[in-house]
Structure 1
Amino acid sequence: MTKLHLNAFLMGVGHHEASWRLPESDPYASWDVEHFQNLARIAERGKLDSVFLADSPVLMGDPGRRPGGKLEPTILLTALAGVTEHIGLIATASTSYNEPYNLARRFASLDHVSHGRAGWNIVTTAGADAARNFGLDDVPLHRERYERAAEFVEVSIRLWDSWADDAIRADKQAGVHADAAKVRPIDHRGRFFRVDGPLNVPRSPQGHPLLVQAGSSEDGRQFAARYAEAVFTAQQTLAEAQAFYQDLKKRAADLGRDPAAVKILPGIVPVIGDTEAEARELDAELDRLISPEYAKRQLEERFGLTLELDEPLPANLPSEDEIEGAKSRYTLIVDLARRENLTVRQLIGRLGGGRGHRTFAGTPVQVADAIEDWSKNGAADGFNIMPAVLPSGLEAFVGKVVPILQERGLFRTEYEGATLREHYGLPRPGVAR
């Protein structure tokens, strides 16, 4: 049986927006390296494939309402590499507000520092607030962002391949450190970038970091089918997850790729209790701590309309084609509200735990059942685990759910490889010359 892939998505003191208000939570943890080192060690104890840090080049949300600010993820992951030995280390970085040379160098460096455990979550970054931090008046058009991202990734791959695997000879007697003929410029001239190369970092242990993608729009799916080796996605129902899974695997096959080499990991926000009643009480406690007026303002910014807490979403919402932001998440939220006939207040409660990802409150066995159900029914190759509260939610998942998955033969009991690519069952890419 093919084993599941499990990634721990680390976000402050938890994915629920009110998690910081619990008595157990440290409101300063979001910029405490020791907090994240502890989380990485917990995830590694559970033999998880990887940990993941999201990022955006903008202050997200209202810092008066919840902890704001994030440490730069590749720097933080370097600190996590020093206290772990096996677990993969994935960071988000934007193709809209970086340059290929600097970013390729950063991820190659992380791969060297971690001995082959680096991964890059490729995002194009929606939102005019981020654009205005980089001298732009508004966010670039959605399709243009993805066109830039494609060229960005192509340039990065060529930079990682600008050193041959055997370029370094380190021949002291002959006085030759590297074979200069095996370190080559890339001389890229494209629509968005001009990059001479070569990279100033030798080829890293994995060759290329694991390439991850998280967009589910039409452009995002096609980009993932071409480049992604793991896909973080959000679906609310088994049918939606199956449709996404089948669609993306087919797109990859149509582009000549092995569909099995594209691992699809839906997000799940587990709220775990020893009994179902205990889990539901924790879930309800978190929801009671949500500030509805603040959450309503966030939705109003997303939809561009004034909303009423105890009314459903208006009928005259823009279509996905009419917005340039996060298209797939916009559609997911609207579909959820329409399908379940939710008021804005009820929708806020449903989104509070995972911003549109599937939330599930239950016992360890029930959480394991939910994971097994989707994985055995063509909806997932694994899961992006998003604990509502950290560190307690990750400790509960590792200590109580992982052993059940292991007993069922669904998850590893020991690490079998040394690199992140090996954890995901993916080959090391050769040098393209």
Structure 2
Amino acid sequence: MTSASRSIPLAAFMNAGPQGTAGWRHPDAASDFLSADYYRRIARRLEEACFDMVFIPDALSVPRSLGGTFLPAVRWGAGTPRLDPMTVLGVMAGVTRHIGLAATVSTGYNEPYNLARSFATFDHMTNGRAGWNVVTSFQDAEARNFGQERLPPRHERYERAEEVLTATTRLWDSWGDEALILDKESGRFGDVEQVSAVDYQGAHVATAGPLGVPRCPQGYPVIIQAGSSPAGRDFAARWADVVFCSHESLDSAVDFYADLKARVSRHGRDPDQLKILPATTPVVGATWDDALAKHRAFEALVVPEAGLSRLAYHVNVDLTQYDLDGPLPTLDEVGVEGHYREVVEFAARENLTVRDIGRWYGARTEGEMIGTPAQIVDRMEEWIASGAADGFMIQPTHLPGAFDDFIDMVVPELRARGLFKSAYEAGTLRDALGLARPERGAWQMRARMTDTLDA
């Protein structure tokens, strides 16, 4: 199979730093995550396997959620360290030619002009391989690094995000596709009719424009979003090309997929132009028993307090205020709502205490994909056929070994079933994902409409 158009999208999720709470402890985990060679090796391996994209999450702090201090995060390696993802992707870009390169950058603590210039430049430098995971930040520790005591309320963070996306896309559109003339004979560098000011003034951000970088190869870099709250889903329905999500069951994944695609339609967009990629953590073995043994060995690496540190970081709630040997109380406001919903669903089903949740959360394998290559691909096909996924975000337990196992064992099974490409086709990341290139002015259709979706 060689056609990218028939291939399910596969993205690789990895930190710019140690992988997960226990991944760094794995016997096969590399420890040189502060070196460029670490990222070069992984990038080459993923491109050899024809992955569509590598995606690096980020946060702008060392977590302080557990006990109000950063000490647990440092002690257990939960959410720290975090290298600058754009710098890391630049290293990976230098040794690859095809794979998409996406980074998380917050709308809360960056200005539209900086965002527009950075991603447009990166898209030019990679011949159209850039992706931006748009987040509003979810930890009070991030706010404190930028002069605020707490994060603004969720609705205010999304209001700012709306403005940032509107201003940023207008900056990308401030140059027409044919603006550069470069006529050495006449001395005409650019067509002044194709470059315009932006003059955007919002309640949270403002910019005059035009951008100092011509329109990028993809028009807009691929926009990724991971919000699962009603506000997050509506934001994704307007702006996102790719949604990264996480589910504890197939049923919840199907419900999320149907809801988000419906929101996209109600905003006048083609649902096929939004690709939903649930996270999955495949643990693959030659036999079921082999895979299960690998999973149990990984679980044994998790210290419960380390798992709680990771969970507290994701929900932005100090869990030490509760009885660790009692059930998890209802939390009114959380950081990452999708992860919180998964925890509630699983904890209720398994009757877990807070301490039990920490042990489970630290070794969580998303997507229920443990088994032989055939069993894992069966499960992937089930998710796609059930209307739960367009593709998958492969989230490894440890690096580079978990990617190696998936590439060596699962990718051949995918190809044998005609589900995954064996070579790249020419084009941009948008082309690889089956996404249309936005016309100049597409921001007007993506910006907030006057009608809102029901919560």
Is TM more than 0.5 here?
yes
Query: Are 2:311 and 2:361, in contact at CA under 8 Å, matched by a contact in 1?
Result: no
Report the alpha carbon displacement of residue 64 of structure 1 after superposing the two structures with TM. 2.2
The Cα of 1:16 is off from its aligned counterpart by 4.3
CA contact (8 A) 1:40 1:84 kept: yes
Instruction: Name the structure 1 match of 2:31.
Output: 27
State whether residues 140 and 149 of structure 2, in contact with CA within 8 Å, keep that contact through their aligned partners in structure 1: yes
TM value normalised by structure 2: 0.89
Aligned partner of 1:44 in structure 2 is 47
* 8 A contact 2:261–2:271 mirrored in 1: yes
Of 420, 440, 443, which residue of structure 2 is paired with 1:431? 440
Where 1:302 maps in the other structure, the secondary structure is coil
The residue correspondences of 1:394-433 to structure 2 (distance < 5 A) are 394-432=403-441
Asked whether 1:317 is paired with 2:317, we answer no
Are residues 82 and 156 of structure 1, via their aligned partners in 2, closer, same or farther at CA, if it must alter by over 3 Å? Answer: same
Q: Which residue of 1 aligns with 2:450?
A: none
Alignment deviations for residues 225-260 of structure 1 (CA, whole Å, 9 cap, x no partner): 001010000111111111100000000000000000
Q: TM-score, normalised by structure 1?
A: 0.93
Corresponding position of 1:94: 106
**CA, structure 1 residues 346+367, in 2 after alignment: closer, same or farther (shift >3 Å)?**
farther
Which whole-Å CA distance do the structure 2 matches of 1:428 and 1:267 have between them? 25
Aligned partner of 1:360 among 340, 346, 369? 369
Q: Give the direction of change, closer, same or farther, for the CA distance of 1:5–1:292 in structure 2 (3 Å limit).
A: same
Name 1:204's counterpart in structure 2: 216
Equivalent residues of 1:15, 1:389 under 8 A apart:
yes
- 1:299–1:213 Cα change, 3 Å: closer
- Partner of 2:392: helix, strand, or coil? strand
The answer as to whether partners of 1:207 and 1:429 remain within 8 angstroms in 2 is yes
CA 218–336 in structure 1, closer or farther in 2 if over 3 Å, else same: same
1:240 maps to 252
Kept in 1: contact 2:280–2:369 (CA 8 A): yes
Identity of aligned residues (%): 41
Residue 125 in structure 1 maps to residue 131 in structure 2: no
Query: Is residue 303–residue 359 contact of structure 2 (8 Å, CA) maintained in 1?
Result: no
Contact 2:304 2:356 in 1 (8 A): no
Distance, in Å, in 1 between the alignment partners of 2:150 and 2:256 is 30
Q: Which residue of 2 aligns with 1:290?
A: 302
Where structure 1 has 5 or more consecutive residues not aligned to the other structure, the ranges are: none
- Distance between the aligned counterparts of 1:123 and 1:387, measured in 2? 22
| Shift in alpha-carbon separation, 1:81–1:296, aligned structure 2, 3 A | closer
Which among 353, 357, 360 is matched to residue 350 of structure 1?
Answer: 360
Whole-angstrom CA distance in 2 between matches of 1:286 and 1:308: 26
**Cα distance, 1:382 vs structure 2:** 0.3
The Cα shift of 1:4 comes to 1.1
Q: Secondary structure at the match of 1:140?
A: coil
| Residue 56 (structure 2) aligns with | 53
Task: Report the 3-state secondary structure (helix = DSSP H, G, I; strand = E; otherwise coil) of the residue aligned with 1:79.
Answer: helix
CA distance in 2, matches of 1:298, 1:267: 17
Cα deviation per residue 1:283-321 (whole Å; 9 max; x = unaligned)? 112211212134335556636553455x3424x423xxx
Q: 1:335 aligns with which of 323, 345, 349?
A: 345
CA distance in 1, matches of 2:100, 2:163: 26
Structure 1 range deviating more: 172-181 or 357-366: 357-366
- For residue 55 of structure 2, give the secondary structure of its aligned residue in structure 1: strand
Partner of residue 227 from structure 1, selected from 218, 239, 243: 239
1:378 and 1:428 mapped to 2: Cα distance? 25
> What residue number does 2:317 align with?
302
- Per the alignment, residue 113 of structure 1 pairs with 125
- Alpha-carbon separation, structure 2, partners of 1:270 and 1:347: 20
Change (3 A) 1:175 1:219: same
Structure 1 distance, partners of 2:368, 2:326, is 21
Counterpart CA distance in 1 for 2:371 and 2:348 is: 25
Contact kept, 8 Å, 2:307 with 2:361, in 1: the verdict is: no
Does structure 2 conserve the Cα–Cα contact (< 8 Å) formed by 1:142 and 1:324? no
Distance change >3 Å, CA 21–CA 302, structure 1 → 2: same
Q: Structure 2: 5+ residue runs without aligned partners?
A: 64-71, 443-455
Pick closer, same or farther for the CA change 1:298–1:40 going to 2, 3 Å.
closer
State the 1:126 CA deviation: 0.8
Other structure's SS at 1:240 match: helix
Structure 1, residues 86-126: CA drift from partner, whole Å, max 9, x if none? Answer: 10001000000110100110000110110100000000011
Cα distance change, pair 53–247 in 1 and its aligned pair in 2 (3 A): same
Could you say what the CA RMSD is over the residues aligned between the two structures, in angstroms? 1.9
What's the CA shift string for 1:186-223, capped at 9, x where partnerless?
Answer: 01111111100011111111111001001111100000
Q: Partner of 1:69 in structure 2? A: 81
